[in-house]
Amino acid sequence: MTKRPLHLALFVAGAAALAASTAAMARVDVDVNFGVPVAPAPVVVAPAPVYVQPQPVYVAPPPPPPVVYRPAPPVVVAPAPAVVVGWHGERYWDGRRWYDRRQYQAWHHAGHGGYGGYGGPGDHGYYRR
**Cβ atoms 106, 124 nearer than 8 A:** yes
CA angle 60, 61, 63 (to 5 degrees): 115
C-alpha to C-alpha distances, 58 to 55, 61, 62, nearest whole angstrom: 10, 9, 12
Q: What is the pLDDT of residue 115?
A: 47
The full 3-state SS of 30-91, as one line of letters, equals CCCCCCCCCCCCCCCCCCCCCCCCCCCCCCCCCCCCCCCCCCCCCCCCCCCCCCCCEEECCE
Q: What is the pLDDT of residue 2?
A: 64
Q: What is the pLDDT of residue 93?
A: 83
Residues 6+ apart with CB under 8 A from 14: none
Give the three-state DSSP class for 99: strand
Q: What is the pLDDT of residue 26?
A: 64
Report the chain (129 residues): mean pLDDT per 10 consecutive residues: 76 81 65 68 84 90 90 85 81 83 75 49 48
Q: List beta partners, residue 88.
A: 91
Strands of the 98-100 sheet, one edge to the other: 86-88, 91-93, 98-100
